Structure 1
Amino acid sequence: MFWNSRLVLILSLWMPSVVVCAQSVDSATSLNEVVVTAQKREEPLGKVPIAVAAFTATQVQQFRLWNNKDISGVVPGLYAADPGDGRDVISIRGVTSTSYDPAVAVYVDGINQFGLDTYIPSLFDIQRIEILRGPQGTLYGRNAMGGVMNIITRQPTNQFSGVAEVSTGNYGLQRYVAAFRNPLVKNKLFIGAAGLYEGRNGYYTNEYDGSSYDRQHSFTGNYYLKYLPGPRWTLDLNVKQRNNRNHGAFPLVADPSMLFGQPFKLDQNARTTMVDNTFQSSLSAGYKGRGFNFKSQTSYQKNYRYYQEPIDGDFSPLDAISVINNYGRRWNNIKAFTEDIQFSSASSSNLKWTAGSYWFYQDQPNRQATRYGNDANLLGVGDSLFSTINTTRNHKWGMAFYGQLSYPISSRANLTAGLRYDYEHQREDVLGEYQHDPDPTPVVVIPDTSGRVSFHAFSPRLALDYQVADHSILYAVYSRGFRTGGLTQLSFNPSEPPLAGFRPEYSSNYEFGIKNSLLSGVLRVNADVFFTHINDAQVPTLILPEAITVTRNTGRLDNWGAEAEIAGRFVKGLEVIYNLGYTHSRYRSLKLSQNGDIVDLVGKRQLFTPDLTSLLAVQYGLSLREGIRAFVRGEWKMMGSTYFDLANTMRQSPYSIYNMRCGVDVRQFELAVWGRNIGDKKYISYAYDFGAYHLGDPATWGVTLGVRFGG
């Protein structure tokens, strides 16, 4: 498959010569040019020397992207999976999340979703989504080592506009979207709001009591106020919230034979409701001048997440192990503050530059107990009816300074150079307690202990792009990324001492690519090859039954591959998209300590990294009469071999998923019938290395009725 990708690259190198002799093509068949902000300034997608996939508002609707995990496999080299609690694990080019510090940074309306706790995965009322592949540390900072997902929602203008949408489907699906944008004072004051309700029955059945296990419902809101105090100034106030209730989080199966033999069935004695409330607010001030631009963004984020009742920790009908974290709002209530100040060149300047500073503070108070019930002895615990309680207070703060400059070295060539410096400090306090029935008073067994760690990182970037024809550019990029380090949590396992520091993870990335818009915009061909080397790879070990992750810098990893994105509209109404990604990800060194022995796992494949992602999407639209248009769409998505443990014993073999969507547009109304995974393929979407599996979504069907109004 790698050689096929090389062939695409060679052909696209030749194809620019076609542009010179191409005939004029009907504009109705040409592809629309997309403007992106990948380099924190507005540029045409075809001019950006970065591997970027962009989805317009129309494409978000066509692909039916309702959640971040729906982008899995749509973008070359991107894999996203939900372990069952609504937090997507996103991998790009073999760089993946191994803890609550993500490897792919997610930005919504310019604000970094600071961690997996304060992260909102729902997608609605979207203007554009940009996926930047490869390290983006220079402009985006920490935890952008794999790339960046940049989400932009619709903003208010001088025209009243809005949308209303109703969806229903199998498994009791209900999804309602309503949004409006309105000028209160023309050219001065604007208001907008968008709301989303989602609900469905569970995909899983709990055979312990015959109940629907993972039933979910949530409400997400996005509210904004824009004020223009002068012709060059803008002020934006934005508030986002998500209140989610998951009646059966983490639907996991520990028996592999049951996983596919009796799919979407489990047998657990404990079922709880996960309460997950997220709040985000931001205040942005912007100035566009003749000589420079200025922007300041201040954000506050918090997440309060707990289980109303103990959650099953042994995934069985035994009353053996459960996890408790409902200790009131003082605990498991995470808060983060961020501030980003940025200066940049005016849009009319030939010399493009960006410079700024960034600051953050995060507070993570966590209290969690592991409860050993009546049947704990059956698992060899040696005792029963007791709890071990871990209390952790984690404080992080950091600052960064960054700058990037793009200089035209000729009429066709540009050189871009950037550098970022990050400093981060972390303090952690831990306390271990033991409580045995019938005495309710816990006894301190590990006294209150503190640890500190500090580190810094430089993230350089160097890129050269050359315009080989009017609508074709070649580019080469070197970039360095890093993922933050930290301190390990408290475990009652004596072999895992608490507060052991682990260093940041660093990567060096080399990328060569080409972007082409051919045949007067009828055909778009983008292709790239990349190589990424990761030093001090952070390797997680999950300590059971406390569900504590201990991280060590024990690996070196090499990722290389090729990607291609092809889109064409040769016939009026017919659009074809084909995206291909190949990723070869192997550990050059990896030694782990298991049961007192050193296990050498050199050559093993990276977690959550399909070696192949392939997407073919075909859509045809036909005008029936004025204002009435019918459409039909089919998608074939293929995912290669994927591994879920470092020893590579837990594997999902290659599989295909088929999606469809068809319907009719009647002026501002749209009625669509859709199906996801219509072949009902059973596949592992996520798995924990201790042997618990979660299946991907089954076949789902539904109908959506939407209306657009205003400008």
Structure 2
Amino acid sequence: MISRTLLLAGVASATLFANPSQASEAQLAVDDPPSSVGTGASDASPEIFVTARRRQETSQDVPLAISVIGGEHIDNTGSFNVGRLQQLTPTLQFYSSNPRNSAANIRGLGAPFGLTNDGIEQGVGIYVDDVYYSRAASSTFDFLDVAQIEVLRGPQGTLYGKNTTAGAINITTRAPTFDFKGRAEVTIGNLGFKQAKAAVSGPLSDTVAARFALSSTSRQGTIFNVASGNRINEQDNLGLRGQLLWRPTETVDVTLAGDFSRQDTECCGTVYVRTGSTQRSLNRQYAALTSALGYTVVSTNPFDRLTDIDADLNAGNTLGGASLRVKWEVGAGTFTSVTAWRFWDWKPENDRDFTGLPIVTRSQNPSQQDQYTQELRYSQSGDALDFVIGAFGYHQRIDTQGLEQHGPASSRWNINPSNPLSNDPSVLAGLTAYNTQALSNTSAALYGQVSWKVTDAFTIQPGIRLNYDKKKGLYDRQVFDGQGNPVLLGQTGAMKAAQLAIFSPQSYRPSGSDWNFSYDVTASYKLAQDVLAYATYAKTFKSFGINQNGVPNDASGVPALAAQTIKPESLNHYEVGVKAQFLDRRATLNLSAFRTEIANYQAQVTNGQFGTVRGYLANAEKVRTQGVEADFSLRPSQRFNLYLNGAYTDATYRKFEDAPCPPELSGGGSGAVIGAPGAPGTNSPAFCDISGQRLPGVSKWSFSYGAEYNRPAAVLGQDGAVYLGVDGNYRSRWSSNPSPSAYTWVKGYALTNVRAGFRTDAGFEIYGWVRNAFDVKYFDELNVPGGNTGLITGKPGDPRTWGATIKTEF
């Protein structure tokens, strides 16, 4: 940690500049580029510049579905991390039970819904100034000095270093400048919300410029834990970013960048939501078990925001890294080299029984990751041909040291009451599993894309990618009873059988390597000066996976080692779209329709056992997602603008015949006659056919919308404008369990945010804001704890919050 801190203390970087008239891959050389997705931003420019195809161009000229969100709108709507960004982009879904167990999905695809498994790739790539962030945990941190975010929908493997099958989030930070500039922002609000952001930029010499930015966010938790007397699920984030830009000539930019982020929160707890009957015997379901243990939950109304979970909670983690980027204008093109190192240290503690009972008394899986990437890229633009070619290398090392321990209530909770051992707390009290995990993940790729301008109106754009992946893992679980004696497979006796039913020792070393070839082709046609139509086909893949969280036991109680690796996904993607501007470019309407078919979809599943395996990976035979999207914005004058973005997404398992069963079809005995869902004491199927059912986390309908009106005014002798803005989003209901369950549908909801303030052309702004203005009660997610007791817990979304912000630029 000392060496990392010393390294970070001396580094800096950010966005590089190139002459737009010469460079085919130019970065935006302004502090706040014109940007909008119909975001309600005050900038009135009809042109929105992006670098999605590794060259500067307007978003309307890019033949792919892309949402562009400017830094100003991110700040004004309080969308300071990816979790909040989904409120502005309907097809982006983000789920997080804690920083490690986070996932960003686009159009229903990306990472499996549920506990994170290090052995698979993220389908949605997160890039910050060309550097790939492999850990989804990075998406829970505050955005730091962001100028613009581009959300690219659909496969992007022929343009980006790391293969991304669902899309990419391309984040551009504000660049160092050769004239002195600065910005500062302070926000206060209810729940003790405090946020401060600052950045300063300027020259150190004629050839060197620097920029430094920081961000700090804190807020009380939204849930009160009566067991500890603390508010939990709080925010406590600190971020630092430094940047040095050396420009020895007009054709060479060298940038050194470093960043460091820290979270130190008592997080992440849940509340009781409901119970639903399973097929377990009635005396082993939640009501009977809590009654036998004399336990009453603190509140059965989840929006009382009360919990009594009794294990320690912690979501402390640090994340950072350094990068060196070189851009050199060579001939008619630009050569780019990006060398980067990133680290992530995760120190969690959780309550895995989700109750105030001492069932699981300790659960922690600290993890450390180091990541190294090298990308080389050359791009060029010409009258008839644009192209980019690149090579990418990636190495990741993850080490995890897990511990889970049961307490005195575990025997009564987990052992059948007909067994006398259920009344003996010592049988499971102190039972401890130590889990050691290690992963070495190496990837290399060659990729390229060409845009051939057949005519002034018609362009064909083929792309290819050759990818190699090699993964080596280790999973080792050792189990000890409360007296410190090892618990081993093959041991006999009723007590050992009860202990092995909770934790069974496992040890295996999954590994594999594979080559894959991807390609895509896009045809686009200018129907008119401001109307572009396009069609895309892509054949791509997600590399094979290895199970890093353990595997289920077979019928004889032996680990099913056949499940330690899973097949790569194979995707066929089809998309058509139209991008149009009219009313003298004051109105923009973009439409797209897509269909993605996946064979061997990598699904996150659970097997209903309490502590044996919390989640593992398996292949679903076929998955399909299809839908339509529309983005509309209108700016009839400088005084008023509005936007409406919508998406219909139909994402379903087309064939998954051996999926895990939902809770209402779990927990019962084995036999030929299967009981009705939720019928206590009946038989459960060994697996369930969920073909045709919806993928988790995906709403069929989602919208984001907003408007802003301003008018000239003078306040305290300062000329400017007063304004009123409204932004909102809607999601229809979605499933919060990998196998859809009647108990875990999250109801649809609409959130509305309001802001009003005063801004000047000189860069001063003050405004008040209310988020979730109507105090809508909704859930971020619902959980099915292990044990098949019928308990459902959840994480309530933020209540109404309000506050004020003051910011200035100079």
Structure 1 counterpart of 2:560, from 487, 497, 504: 497
Instruction: Report the 3-state secondary structure (helix = DSSP H, G, I; strand = E; otherwise coil) of the residue aligned with 1:248.
Output: coil
Instruction: Report the 3-state secondary structure (helix = DSSP H, G, I; strand = E; otherwise coil) of the residue aligned with 1:59.
Output: helix
Q: How has the CA–CA distance of structure 1 residues 35 and 708 changed in structure 2, closer, same or farther, with 3 Å as cutoff?
A: same
Q: How has the CA–CA distance of structure 1 residues 447 and 683 changed in structure 2, closer, same or farther, with 3 Å as cutoff?
A: closer
Give 1:452 deviation, angstroms. Answer: 1.3
CA contact (8 A) 1:605 1:646 kept: no
Report what 1:137 is aligned to: 157
Structure 2, gaps ≥5 residues long = 1-41, 277-298, 416-426, 490-503, 662-683, 786-791
Structure 2 counterpart of 1:397, from 442, 447, 454: 442
Structure 2 counterpart of 1:127, from 137, 147, 151: 147
Report what 2:653 is aligned to: 587
CA distance in 2, matches of 1:476, 1:367: 48
Q: How has the CA–CA distance of structure 1 residues 395 and 253 changed in structure 2, closer, same or farther, with 3 Å as cutoff?
A: farther
Matched, 1:184 2:273: no
Report what 1:19 is aligned to: none
Structure 2 counterpart of 1:68, from 82, 103, 107: 82
Give 1:246 deviation, angstroms. Answer: 1.4
Amino acid at match of 2:469: E
What does the per-residue CA deviation read over 1:547-571, in whole Å, with 9 as the maximum and x for residues that have no partner? 6431011231111111111111113
CA distance in 1, matches of 2:145, 2:43: 27
Matched, 1:619 2:619: no
CA contact (8 A) 1:36 1:130 kept: yes
CA contact (8 A) 1:85 1:250 kept: no
CA contact (8 A) 1:373 1:385 kept: yes
CA distance in 1, matches of 2:59, 2:234: 40
CA contact (8 A) 1:624 1:630 kept: yes
CA distance in 1, matches of 2:176, 2:409: 58
CA contact (8 A) 1:489 1:548 kept: no
Instruction: Report the 3-state secondary structure (helix = DSSP H, G, I; strand = E; otherwise coil) of the residue aligned with 2:691.
Output: coil
What does the per-residue CA deviation read over 1:6-31, in whole Å, with 9 as the maximum and x for residues that have no partner? xxxxxxxxxxxxxxxxxxxxxx9964
CA distance in 2, matches of 1:168, 1:432: 46
Matched, 1:652 2:666: no
Report what 1:422 is aligned to: 467
Matched, 1:228 2:247: yes
Amino acid at match of 2:170: N
Aligned CA-pair RMSD: 2.3
Give 1:367 deviation, angstroms. Answer: 1.4
Matched, 1:271 2:291: no
Q: How has the CA–CA distance of structure 1 residues 447 and 585 changed in structure 2, closer, same or farther, with 3 Å as cutoff?
A: closer
Give 1:118 deviation, angstroms. Answer: 5.1
Give 1:624 deviation, angstroms. Answer: 1.0
Structure 2 counterpart of 1:685, from 777, 780, 783: 780
Give 1:693 deviation, angstroms. Answer: 1.8
Matched, 1:386 2:431: yes
Amino acid at match of 1:629: A
Report what 2:288 is aligned to: none
Give 1:207 deviation, angstroms. Answer: 2.5
CA contact (8 A) 2:549 2:613 kept: no
Report what 1:302 is aligned to: 343
Instruction: Report the 3-state secondary structure (helix = DSSP H, G, I; strand = E; otherwise coil) of the residue aligned with 1:171.
Output: coil
CA distance in 2, matches of 1:490, 1:89: 17
CA distance in 2, matches of 1:260, 1:648: 23
Amino acid at match of 2:734: T
CA contact (8 A) 2:759 2:765 kept: yes
Structure 1 counterpart of 2:131, from 83, 89, 111: 111
Report what 2:270 is aligned to: 251
Matched, 1:313 2:333: no
Report what 1:599 is aligned to: 688
Q: TM-score, normalised by structure 1?
A: 0.90
Deviates more, 1:380-389 or 1:222-231: 380-389
Report what 1:163 is aligned to: 183
CA distance in 1, matches of 2:615, 2:454: 49
Structure 2 counterpart of 1:525, from 578, 589, 599: 589
Instruction: Report the 3-state secondary structure (helix = DSSP H, G, I; strand = E; otherwise coil) of the residue aligned with 1:139.
Output: coil
Report what 2:215 is aligned to: 196
Q: How has the CA–CA distance of structure 1 residues 87 and 661 changed in structure 2, closer, same or farther, with 3 Å as cutoff?
A: farther
Instruction: Report the 3-state secondary structure (helix = DSSP H, G, I; strand = E; otherwise coil) of the residue aligned with 1:575.
Output: strand
CA contact (8 A) 1:356 1:402 kept: yes
Q: TM-score, normalised by structure 2?
A: 0.79
Alignment of 1:468-617 (within 5 A): 468-489=527-548, 491=550, 493-495=552-554, 496-498=559-561, 500-542=564-606, 544-545=610-611, 548-591=614-657, 592-593=659-660, 597-617=686-706
Matched, 1:374 2:374: no
Deviates more, 1:188-197 or 1:251-260: 251-260
Deviates more, 1:508-517 or 1:626-635: 626-635
Give 1:250 deviation, angstroms. Answer: 3.8
Give 1:469 deviation, angstroms. Answer: 0.8
Matched, 1:638 2:638: no
Give 1:64 deviation, angstroms. Answer: 2.9
Report what 2:334 is aligned to: 293
Give 1:446 deviation, angstroms. Answer: 4.6
Report what 1:20 is aligned to: none
Q: How has the CA–CA distance of structure 1 residues 639 and 65 changed in structure 2, closer, same or farther, with 3 Å as cutoff?
A: same
CA distance in 2, matches of 1:206, 1:245: 18
- Give the aligned length: 674
Report what 2:720 is aligned to: 628
Instruction: Report the 3-state secondary structure (helix = DSSP H, G, I; strand = E; otherwise coil) of the residue aligned with 2:97.
Output: coil
Q: Percent identity?
A: 22
What does the per-residue CA deviation read over 1:309-346, in whole Å, with 9 as the maximum and x for residues that have no partner? x52110111111144447xxxx611111111111111x
CA distance in 2, matches of 1:323, 1:571: 59
CA distance in 1, matches of 2:140, 2:323: 15
Structure 2 counterpart of 1:439, from 484, 499, 524: 484
Structure 1 counterpart of 2:397, from 355, 363, 371: 363
CA contact (8 A) 1:87 1:119 kept: no
Amino acid at match of 1:375: A
CA distance in 2, matches of 1:110, 1:585: 30
Alignment of 1:671-710 (within 5 A): 671-690=766-785, 691-709=792-810
Q: How has the CA–CA distance of structure 1 residues 476 and 556 changed in structure 2, closer, same or farther, with 3 Å as cutoff?
A: same
CA contact (8 A) 1:159 1:183 kept: yes
Give 1:122 deviation, angstroms. Answer: 1.5
Deviates more, 1:474-483 or 1:244-253: 244-253
Alignment of 1:41-60 (within 5 A): 41-60=55-74
Give 1:138 deviation, angstroms. Answer: 1.6
CA contact (8 A) 1:73 1:613 kept: no
Report what 1:240 is aligned to: 259
Matched, 1:663 2:763: no
Structure 2 counterpart of 1:458, from 510, 514, 517: 517
Instruction: Report the 3-state secondary structure (helix = DSSP H, G, I; strand = E; otherwise coil) of the residue aligned with 1:247.
Output: coil
CA contact (8 A) 1:57 1:126 kept: yes
CA distance in 1, matches of 2:151, 2:752: 23
Report what 2:324 is aligned to: 283
Structure 1, gaps ≥5 residues long = 1-27
Deviates more, 1:443-452 or 1:276-285: 443-452
Amino acid at match of 2:410: A
Report what 2:92 is aligned to: 78
CA contact (8 A) 2:625 2:649 kept: yes
Q: How has the CA–CA distance of structure 1 residues 323 and 396 changed in structure 2, closer, same or farther, with 3 Å as cutoff?
A: farther
CA contact (8 A) 1:29 1:570 kept: no
Q: How has the CA–CA distance of structure 1 residues 88 and 487 changed in structure 2, closer, same or farther, with 3 Å as cutoff?
A: closer
Amino acid at match of 1:228: R
Q: How has the CA–CA distance of structure 1 residues 689 and 404 changed in structure 2, closer, same or farther, with 3 Å as cutoff?
A: farther
Q: How has the CA–CA distance of structure 1 residues 336 and 637 changed in structure 2, closer, same or farther, with 3 Å as cutoff?
A: same
Report what 1:3 is aligned to: none
Deviates more, 1:66-75 or 1:334-343: 66-75
